[in-house]
Structure 1
Amino acid sequence: MNLQFFASRTMTWYMAKKFLLTSFGVLAALVLVLQTLDLLGESGNILAYPGNGEPQLWQYVSLRVPQLIARFLPFAVLLGALITFVTLNQNSEIIAMKSAGISAHQILAPLILASMGIAILSFSFNERIVARANATLTAWDAADYGPIPVDRGIVSNVWVRSGDDLIHATQASGRGAGVRLTDITVYDRIGGTLETIITGKSATYDRGGWLMKDVRRFDVTRGVAEPLPSLTVARGVTPDRFTLANVDADERNFADLRVAIADLQAAGRPTESLEAGLWHKVSGPLSSVLMPLLAAVAAFGLARSGQLFLRAVIGMALGFAYFVADNFALAMGNIGAYPPLLAAWGPPILFFLIGETVLIRTEE
């Protein structure tokens, strides 16, 4: 039994180079086509804002392309592995390798090594570029593709519900007990009926409640407004409900998301969906390592069956089944139906076992 992981340096370099060039070529074609279609659909909204023109269209492209690369890189790796294996089979190179005593795992090893490099590159790209692009594009879209407000750590237009009451703040700045609210409005409701509207210029967290300054209280039933110098409202509403009201895992890198999760946990808030997104930042790029294994069904057994097209379809079906399972598990994790670790790591482990079982039973 041959226990060497790589057959030879020359063969490893040859297959890895062929696989990488094919995968990145497929990725470039996919991104080009999808970005063109996306820009055609969104250009009307971008140009609808007065003063926008060609520079804003290129700015949109610069923000959208990283998202497309991050989303479709595993697809490109899957198609690249399939094309590489099919080409090797058509040229009888797989048969020659098997005749030389090279095992199926040794044939697969160069592609696994190359895909590990792709996974590392993908994780770094997501952390440094994609997360920022997601946050910027979301803010730009919220501004109707107009000027984006400067981000100074201020959360704008925050709504919080406390029992039947609704609380709105134009801005929330700061962290922890030092959070300050600006232009706050409290809609005091009893049984769904609006009783009182309380407005204030500012509010600070004070002994479990929010101390409002320059208060105006309007009694809806009597139609009477009453000015007050200060008033404490919303007892039991913690500061994190304003500052961490809209934490999006896609818009934060791994380190920032861990800090946000820790803050939410300290405040007793549920974090299961964010934890699933945190671990998926690692398991997502690693899915590229699985693609050659799932596509390997297109590489072997052709000398016996000759059904190249059918095996390529089976390999593609296994790859797409993985993406369906991964998205389903992540969705279940977001709603709390799956534990975060299971949601992020369940599909990769399951399809790794499936791929290894098929490879060992058919070829080893």
Structure 2
Amino acid sequence: MINLDFMPSGPIARYTARLFVTRTLAVLVSLVLVLMTLDLLGESGKILAAPGNGQAELWHYVVLRVPGLVARFLPFSALLGTLIMFAALNANSEIIAMKAAGVSAHQILAPLIVASLGVAAIAFAFNETVVVHSIRALQVWSDNDYRAVPAESDMMSNIWLLDGDDLIRTRNAAGTGQSLHLSQITVYERDRGELQRTIDITSAAQLPGGGAQGWRLKGVRTYDAAMNLVSSKPEAIGFKGITPERFTLAKVDPTEQDFWTLRRLIAELEAAGRQTDEARAGWWHKIAAPLSTLLMPLLAAIAAFGLARSGQVLLRATIGMALGFAYFVVDNFSLAMGNVGVYPPFLAAWAPFLLFLLIGEFVLIRSEE
């Protein structure tokens, strides 16, 4: 009689789910420790080069960098953890014992899929509450050459704005709407593409009535290229007609915005007639990326089935790892195509997931046969 139950028995389900979670966490911790060490070795010189920085700033860098590493390598850790688990189960003939007891390949994988759903839910919450803020803070800090920056949660950095022929670069911006203020600004005034003046501004805040009325600029230093002359003013009025939304919408990075804020920014971009493909693809990918952990047990299942004494366990594990690597390559490629508008945003985020879901299911069915 064919067993049509989705899950195996309770002890088997708990046993395989526990193995999946513990192996995944062990691989994740190991990867993050190694990668964080290598990353810190590469950045420590830049961090310590900033005046006043020391050991505390190195630890601050670690605190900001680790969440991003965890989010990026969690699916890969799930893949390696599942491969390690299946290789051990196969080598100890536990897979054979389960199948002899009437447990199908899909039932063996079912507890892993349920566990990976829980991991995906935790990963999504972690990404939207911790990772986006740490990535934004780290980006602002690194763009400022690891010098001290104001501790504001809505900080943005390295914003470029085109105003007619002029280019405006804002190294730091904080706040929204009427509370938006800028610092470390450089204006490149051009005439028919030729640079006429370079203006360095310490800070800028909106005049009463908003940016349409102009901005109060402080610490203005102007270099006139035609006259080879430098002049300074403690204060000036400028940027008339430039609303704060032009700065906040000039740089919308999905990795630095949480799910709901990004959705609001997409609506604002649409209202302003701006291109939204990159933001939409990133918005959909915020869901697809954590769910990629569901694929890893399926792609790694090729290492579970087949006789261990056939001598092909290592080969099957290598094939499973290659399938996982292929998914990450295709996912990054598809997202890049979505960012430039070649793929529709929804397709760019979800096509790799659906494609490798079908590939994994096909390989599983063939392996079971």
TM-score range relative to shorter protein: 0.7 to 0.9
1:317 paired to 2:322: yes
Give percent identity, aligned residues only: 55
Distance in 2 between residues matched to 1:171 and 1:27, nearest whole Å:
34
Q: Is the 8 A contact 2:32 2:70 kept in 1?
A: yes
Task: Encode CA deviations 1:225-277: one digit per residue, 9 max, x unaligned.
Answer: 9x9xx999777x66422222222111111111111111111101101001111
1:360 alignment partner, one of 325, 349, 365: 365
* 1-structure distance, mates of 2:186, 2:88: 66
Q: Per the alignment, in what secondary structure is the counterpart of residue 4 of structure 1?
A: coil
Q: Do the aligned partners of 1:210 and 1:232 also contact (CA within 8 Å) in 2?
A: no
Q: Within 5 Å, which residues of 2 pair with 1:331-342?
A: 331-342=336-347
2:27 equivalent in structure 1: 26
The residue that corresponds to 1:121 in the other structure is 122
Is the Cα contact below 8 Å between 2:173 and 2:181 reproduced in 1?
yes
Q: How many residues align?
A: 361
Q: Deviations over 1:48-67 (max 9, x none)?
A: 22322222211111111111
Name the amino acid aligned to 1:264.
L
User: Equivalents in 1 of 2:48, 2:211: separation in Å?
Assistant: 47
- Secondary structure of 2:348's counterpart equals helix
Q: RMSD across aligned C-alpha pairs, in angstroms? A: 3.5
- In the TM superposition, what are the counterparts of 1:300-315 in structure 2 within 5 Å? 300-302=305-307, 305-315=310-320
Cα distance change, pair 318–167 in 1 and its aligned pair in 2 (3 A):
closer
Structure 1 stretch displaced more, 101-110 or 242-251: 242-251
Shift of the alpha carbon at 1:34?
1.0
Measured against aligned partners, the alpha-carbon deviations of 1:113-144 in whole angstroms (never above 9, x if no partner) come to 11111111111111111111101111221232
Note the residue ranges of structure 2 that are not aligned, 5 or more in a row.
none
TM-score with structure 2 setting the length:
0.84
CA-CA distance at 1:306 after TM superposition: 4.1
1:260 aligns with 2:265: yes
Aligned to 1:36: 37
Instruction: Report how far residue 281 of structure 1 moved.
Output: 0.8
Secondary structure class of the residue paired with 1:51: coil
Amino acid in the other structure paired with 1:363: E
User: Secondary structure of 1:102's match?
Assistant: coil
Letter in 2 for 1:284: A
Larger mean CA deviation between 158-167 and 66-75 belongs to 158-167
Q: Summarize the Cα distance change of 1:341–1:205 in structure 2 as closer, same or farther, 3 Å threshold.
A: farther
User: Structure 2 counterpart of 1:324, which letter?
Assistant: V
- For residues 109 and 346 of structure 1, the distance between their equivalents in structure 2, rounded to whole angstroms, comes to 23
Deviations 1:149-170 (A, max 9, x none): 1327576775421343334668
1:343 matched to 2:344: no
Alpha-carbon distance in structure 2 between the residues aligned to 1:295 and 1:259: 38
Cα deviation for residue 102 of structure 1 reads: 1.0
> Which residue does the alignment assign to 2:112?
111
- SS in structure 2 of the partner of residue 52 of structure 1: coil
Query: 1:165 and 1:80, CA in 2 relative to 1: closer, same or farther beyond 3 A?
Result: same
Partner of 1:94: 95
Unpaired runs of 5+ in structure 1?
none
Q: Distance in 1 between matches of 2:300 and 2:124?
A: 22
- In the TM superposition, residue 302 of structure 1 has moved relative to its aligned partner by 2.4
Measured against aligned partners, the alpha-carbon deviations of 1:184-205 in whole angstroms (never above 9, x if no partner) come to 8876544223568899987669
**Separation (CA, whole Å) in 1 of partners of 2:51 and 2:187:** 35
TM-score by length of 1: 0.86
Whether contact under 8 Å (2:169, 2:187) holds in the other structure is yes
1:1-364 mapped onto 2 (5 Å cutoff): 1-151=2-152, 158-167=159-168, 175=176, 189-194=190-195, 211=214, 239-302=244-307, 305-363=310-368
CA contact (8 A) 2:178 2:210 kept: no
AA matched with 2:67:
P
Any conservation in 2 of the 1:173–1:181 contact (CA below 8 Å)? yes
- Assess, with a 3 A threshold, how the Cα gap between structure 1 residues 142 and 196 changes in structure 2: closer, same or farther: closer
Contact (CA 8 Å) 1:123, 1:282: kept in 2 or not?
A: yes
CA–CA separation in structure 2 for the residues paired with 1:84 and 1:99: 19
Q: Distance in 2 between matches of 1:358 and 1:61?
A: 40
